[in-house]
Structure 1
Amino acid sequence: MSDVRTPTALPTTTIGPADEPATVGAIGYGAMSIAGTYGAIADADVTAVLDASIEAGANLIDTANVYGDGRSEQLLGRYLAGRRDDVVLASKVGIVNGGGIGKRGIRGDRAYIHEQIDLSLGRLGTDHLDLYYQHRVDPNIPIEETVGALAELVTAGKIRRIGLSEATGDELRRAHAVHPIAAIQSEWSIVSRDIETYVVPTAAELGVTVVAFSPLSRGLFTDSFGPEDVHLGGTRANFPRFQPEHLGANLELAAHFRSLAHRLGTTSEALAIAWVHDRAEQLGARVVSIPGTRSVAHLHANFEALQLELSDETRAEIDGYAARVSGPRASDPNWVSGGREGLI
């Protein structure tokens, strides 16, 4: 079977309960990138990449209050003035900055959630969010209490749907019993597959959409990534897979993947994202991937993923990558679902 098919329009899927689903493009836009996380970006380039994303049908825009200490939300607020209805807007609450990755805290208490929603809405220049995530599960607050506070925001009209990020399969099930959960967000890529054991099957059973962040493993599985990119923006260097003891092996793995993509007549970006969507289909789950990029050219490369159909041979070759990657996906395993489930 061929790995390339005729290009089509960006397909759509849904996020949310059956009685009020939001229709979104199967690929969305991860707006952490516009906050300078992976290097500086000019305001004009922010406008260009968001214009191209929406024009292509990638209308789910995903941000968080901690991205650039609010800068991502502020930029989106300016951009969306007069065109708020063009997008399905998602943000997050729960991570408390405290000196950078590895030094941050988590809050899932009612007071903090109610405080932060108003700050986010102010920066975004809107009276509601289409989707609001608890960014990480607070180990000191029962998930039922956190979701109860988010449900109050639904009742108040400040948010339309509730999401969770990096929740375990059990936490997702417990949360869903309190209020329908629209989306579960987690890292999911060819080398980060722990959510396939519990989280994705639970989401598929409950009808919760999986939102896959870092489908390119923070840029590692792109055609242009090199060791000089690790320190751009200062974020990647905080993750184990980009630290000196692991980076060499992972660059070699990325080079092998790049060769595979080129043999198939496509790019690393497209093949890596295509794999996430293909894997979700195999597991019976709805998925939206949210790669972030600072350029229109890279954005279009991402969209080429949905022009690919993977053969069994390609699936088999990619299947071994997760066992070959060097280092865990997170510095603190308790911050990610697989760590609390004993999978990483």
Structure 2
Amino acid sequence: MTYITSSSAPNDMAAPRQLGTTGPRVYPIALGCMGMSGMYGASDDAESIRTIHEALERGVTVLDTGDFYGMGRNELLIQRALDGRRHDALLSVKFGALRGPDGSWLGMDTRPAAVKNALAHTLTRLGVDHIDIYRPARLDPHVPIEDTIGAIADLVQAGYVRHIGLSEMGVDTIRRAHAVHPIVDVQIEYSLITRTLEAKILPVLRELGIAITAYGVLSRGLLSGSATTGASDFRARLPRFAGEAGARNRALVERMRAVAEARGVSLSQMAVAWVLAQGREIVPVVGARTVVQLDEALGALGLVLTGEEGGRLEEIAGEVEGARYDAHAMGMLDSER
């Protein structure tokens, strides 16, 4: 793995990054808003809004959400936060996931009519006239990707969408989608612990000039030492957090933390800095829910890892046990096929 070396100016890390060859230039870290609407347990709307405001004040441009986060509540929260400030933010929205009234996951629907229906409700909840980057959350096995992307392309032509992205798609799907309309970025999990995209997906994205918005850079809080908060925290069902594997992984994280403490920084900052250093086409999506968490994450922009530090972190991370989702959710990931 190649690192940005200590001879590189740290300020270079804070330079804007390009989302694909046709997309916007953005701040090098995006703010993921999912955790502000209950996925990790109880959240505080007032603190979430303060965090969004602070992010915008600090220069963050991309706010990432999904129309199914909190059953639409996340979009309504962002609407409140962006009141009078729409011009400061680029909205990245995922759609297509079906949920029941009990919060259960029912599959995907990315038929052309469903795409346009979903966008209509998203525009209403967010109180805006366009979405900057619109993307299916997962591949719908019953709908050709060409049909889905074609429907979004119609929305681009009509002015309701500016750019098209993908989420957790494999190389064949990426190529087929990009042939219909330029794709500016693929949102996919990428961290010290989750690196499967490096084998096949990353080379194709670089070939096609498509960026990565990398979520899970802290492995859903594992790398920050975050503990699950109860039954409403979906991480309690993830293999990396549960049972004996969870206990072993927490011990491994303590070993990684020692590497960071020797440098006088947090492990969270080193984890974000590691992702930033893997390429200028990669924009980490940090799921900060508080101003304190946001401030810590943005501190990674001034951090340049040495090869020794990066190598040691990777060595320890390679011992982590467990898949990133449970078996059912992993089966829905086109990127893992």
TM-score strictly above 0.5: yes
Partner amino acid for 2:331?
Answer: N
Aligned-residue CA RMSD (Å):
2.0
Could you tell me how far 1:218 is from its partner in structure 2? 0.4
Could you tell me how far 1:338 is from its partner in structure 2? 4.2
Give distance in 2, aligned partners of 1:111 and 1:338: 25
Indicate the residue corresponding to 2:281 in structure 1.
286
Is the partner of 2:92 in helix, strand or coil?
strand
Q: Structure 1 pair 3/327, CA: closer, same or farther in 2 (3 Å)?
A: farther
Gaps of 5+ in 1: none
- Normalised by the length of structure 1, the TM-score is 0.90
Partner amino acid for 1:225?
Answer: S
Give distance in 2, aligned partners of 1:44 and 1:141: 39
Is the partner of 1:146 in helix, strand or coil?
helix
Indicate the residue corresponding to 1:87 in structure 2.
89
Q: Structure 1 pair 168/230, CA: closer, same or farther in 2 (3 Å)?
A: farther
Q: Structure 1 pair 294/67, CA: closer, same or farther in 2 (3 Å)?
A: same
- How many correspondences in the alignment? 330
Indicate the residue corresponding to 1:339 in structure 2.
336
Could you tell me how far 1:207 is from its partner in structure 2? 1.1
Q: Structure 1 pair 4/249, CA: closer, same or farther in 2 (3 Å)?
A: farther
Question: 2:139, 2:334 within 8 Å by CA — same for their partners in 1?
Answer: no
Kindly provide the CA deviation profile for residues 13-46 of structure 1, in whole angstroms up to 9, marking residues without a partner as x: 122443xx31211001001021122232323212
Partner amino acid for 1:305?
Answer: A
Indicate the residue corresponding to 2:31 in structure 1.
29
Could you tell me how far 1:256 is from its partner in structure 2? 1.1
With 323-332 and 165-174 compared, the bigger mean Cα shift is at 323-332
Could you tell me how far 1:5 is from its partner in structure 2? 6.9
Partner amino acid for 1:147?
Answer: I
Question: 1:211, 1:287 within 8 Å by CA — same for their partners in 2?
Answer: yes
Give distance in 1, aligned partners of 2:48 and 2:297: 17
Indicate the residue corresponding to 1:317 in structure 2.
312
Could you tell me how far 1:199 is from its partner in structure 2? 1.4
Give distance in 2, aligned partners of 1:323 and 1:230: 26
Could you tell me how far 1:141 is from its partner in structure 2? 1.3
Question: 2:170, 2:336 within 8 Å by CA — same for their partners in 1?
Answer: no
Could you tell me how far 1:118 is from its partner in structure 2? 0.3
Is the partner of 1:300 in helix, strand or coil?
helix
Give distance in 1, aligned partners of 2:6 and 2:230: 38
Could you tell me how far 1:315 is from its partner in structure 2? 2.1
Give distance in 1, aligned partners of 2:238 and 2:106: 14
Question: 2:252, 2:317 within 8 Å by CA — same for their partners in 1?
Answer: no
Give distance in 1, aligned partners of 2:115 and 2:10: 45
Question: 1:10, 1:58 within 8 Å by CA — same for their partners in 2?
Answer: no
Indicate the residue corresponding to 1:205 in structure 2.
207
Q: Note if 1:118 corresponds to 2:113.
A: no
With 154-163 and 231-240 compared, the bigger mean Cα shift is at 231-240
Give distance in 2, aligned partners of 1:337 and 1:264: 38
The percent identity for this pair of structures is 36
With 183-192 and 316-325 compared, the bigger mean Cα shift is at 316-325
Kindly provide the CA deviation profile for residues 192-234 of structure 1, in whole angstroms up to 9, marking residues without a partner as x: 1011111111111111110001100001101x424xx353742
Gaps of 5+ in 2: none
Give distance in 2, aligned partners of 1:313 and 1:3: 14
Could you tell me how far 1:308 is from its partner in structure 2? 1.3
Is the partner of 2:66 in helix, strand or coil?
coil
Indicate the residue corresponding to 2:177 in structure 1.
175
Question: 2:64, 2:92 within 8 Å by CA — same for their partners in 1?
Answer: yes
Question: 1:49, 1:294 within 8 Å by CA — same for their partners in 2?
Answer: yes
Indicate the residue corresponding to 2:262 in structure 1.
263
Give distance in 2, aligned partners of 1:141 and 1:338: 16
Kindly provide the CA deviation profile for residues 81-106 of structure 1, in whole angstroms up to 9, marking residues without a partner as x: 221111011111111114556x4301
Question: 1:130, 1:160 within 8 Å by CA — same for their partners in 2?
Answer: yes
Q: Note if 1:185 corresponds to 2:187.
A: yes
